[in-house]
Amino acid sequence: MFYAKTIPKKTLLTFAAMEKTNFVDQIRIFCHSGHGGAGSKHFMRNKLTAMGGPDGGDGGRGAHIILRGNENLWTLLHLRYFKNVLAEDGENGSKNNCTGKEGKDIIIEVPLGTIAKDEETGKVEAEMLEHGQEIVWLKGGRGGLGNSNFATPTNQAPEHSQPGEPGEEGWKVLELKVLADVGLVGFPNAGKSTLLSVITAAKPKIADYAFTTLIPQLGMVEYRDHKSFCIADLPGIIEGAAEGKGLGHRFLRHIERNSVLLFLIPADSNDHKKEFEILVNELEEFNPELLDKKFIIAISKSDMLDQELKDAVEKELPKNIPHLFISSVAQQGLIELKDLLWKALNEEK
């Protein structure tokens, strides 16, 4: 089992302070699976047998590095200070056809939603989506064959055995993408955290300044007949986020797993249409496939609007995307919002 240290909680004051948070969603580590043990080149010798046949055993397999999904984890924090994962080599074979001991596998437990990539090529090598799922990430080298495997009628005393195969090594990246049914998308201070705190039991930090939310916050929305779905409050987008500005890619990769994207646009926005277009453009710049997801627009803080203003705002919004007016503080439109989200989650594409 792969054990890890824990670190105390830190207060997030600036973007730089994100490196000290308990939410860690990306880890870079050097991994090395075990080498296989060498096969033995040995001949039987005892007090009754002066020149016996070959009895060299096989080498043991090198240890694997294995990923295991764990639904009880929600961050990669426990791996933060483990920069090198080095697995055991297999033992060499020995006399009397004894096979060498296999290296002890290393199991790295990760939260669901984690993907494992090779840093050099960027290739995705594993994706953990189920509790208890195990994937051999780096295979240990096979043990070499002992000389007893090479005996033939014409060569009854082979003088050779195989070396063990080398293990695999390289710099790897573990990246967590939050698993949630619905992702809240919007500029900073759009009211995402307030909405999450009202419709779920989550208690995100809420304050009247930009980037109050620096890490994804998850909550379960209770729906009718004891049904529920998961919603994520994600750090706010700014123009240029796809290029890494603001929280940039730290935010955008988390929405790749959301089935439905709920765009929150505040009622006091200067231009509702332009704000929505900027948000969509940032998603497209980051990953064009995000545009295939289901979109819903919610105008937050709508308790400050009368019907005439609502009609004016409605004319600015795209006609082909469902929208509604809500107020988290005044508890307006929240039941209708849950109905709309549930319908979007359960209808066929």
Instruction: Provide the CATH number for the domain around residue 43.
Output: 2.70.210.12
pLDDT digits (tens, 9 = 90+) for 32-78: 999 999 999 989 888 777 788 899 999 999 999 999 999 888 788 88
Residues 341 and 225 in one domain: yes
Residue 7 lies in a domain: no
Residues 155 and 170 in one domain: yes
| For range 287-294, the mean pLDDT | 86
- Tell me the HSE value of 308 on the side-chain side, using a 13 A CA sphere: 0
Query: Higher-confidence residue: 131 or 200?
Result: 131
Question: Under DSSP, is residue 238 helix (H, G, I), strand (E, B) or coil?
Answer: coil
Residues 147 and 35 in one domain: yes
Neighbours of 54 (CB within 10 A): 24
Residue 8 lies in a domain: no
**Residue 114, H or E segment:** strand 114-118
Query: Higher-confidence residue: 123 or 199?
Result: 123
pLDDT, averaged across the chain: 81
In angstroms, the Cα distances linking 305 to 13, 39, 126 are 34, 80, 49
Q: Identify the pLDDT of residue 214.
A: 52
Q: Identify the pLDDT of residue 9.
A: 37
- Domain boundary residue among 151, 176, 201? 176
Neighbours of 40 (CB within 10 A): 26
Residues 244 and 288 in one domain: yes
Residue 255 lies in a domain: yes
Domains contained in the chain, number? 2
Residue 11 lies in a domain: no
Q: Identify the pLDDT of residue 245.
A: 45
Q: Identify the pLDDT of residue 136.
A: 95
Residues 208 and 163 in one domain: no
pLDDT digits (tens, 9 = 90+) for 224-258: 887 888 888 777 665 544 444 444 455 677 777 78
Residue 72 lies in a domain: yes
| Structural domain boundaries, residue 266 | 182-346
Residues 171 and 190 in one domain: no
DSSP bridge pairs for 110: 69
Q: Identify the pLDDT of residue 138.
A: 95
Residues 216 and 274 in one domain: yes
Question: What are the φ/ψ torsions at residue 61 (nearest 5 degrees)?
Answer: -70, 145
Query: Higher-confidence residue: 223 or 15?
Result: 223
Q: Which residues are within 8 A (CB) of 17 and not within 5 positions of it... i.e. 6 or more apart?
A: 10, 11
Instruction: Provide the CATH number for the domain around residue 303.
Output: 3.40.50.300
Q: Identify the pLDDT of residue 348.
A: 58
Q: Identify the pLDDT of residue 30.
A: 95
Confidence of residue 263 (pLDDT cuts 50, 70, 90): very high
In angstroms, the Cα distances linking 246 to 188, 215, 260 are 10, 13, 23
Confidence of residue 285 (pLDDT cuts 50, 70, 90): confident
- Domain boundary residue among 176, 199, 222? 176
**Residue 321, H or E segment:** none
330/33 Cα distance (integer angstroms): 57
Residues 169 and 205 in one domain: no
Percent over 90 (pLDDT), the chain = 31
Q: Identify the pLDDT of residue 258.
A: 82
Q: Identify the pLDDT of residue 16.
A: 37
- Domain boundary residue among 136, 159, 176? 176
| For range 266-285, the mean pLDDT | 87
Percent over 70 (pLDDT), the chain = 83
The 8-class DSSP code of residue 164 comes to: P
**The amino acid at 95:** K
Residue 105 lies in a domain: yes
Residues 190 and 145 in one domain: no
Among candidate residues 343, 291, 346, 292, the one with its CA nearest the CA of residue 322: 343
Residue 320 lies in a domain: yes
294/321 Cα distance (integer angstroms): 9
Q: Which of the given ranges, 187-201, 207-221, 288-302, has the highest pLDDT on average?
A: 288-302
In angstroms, the Cα distances linking 209 to 22, 190, 202, 214, 229 are 22, 10, 20, 12, 29
Q: Identify the pLDDT of residue 19.
A: 40
Q: Identify the pLDDT of residue 236.
A: 62
**Lowest model confidence (mean pLDDT) among 2-11, 154-163, 329-338:** 2-11
Residue 1 lies in a domain: no
Residues 148 and 243 in one domain: no
Residues 30 and 172 in one domain: yes
Residues 190 and 73 in one domain: no
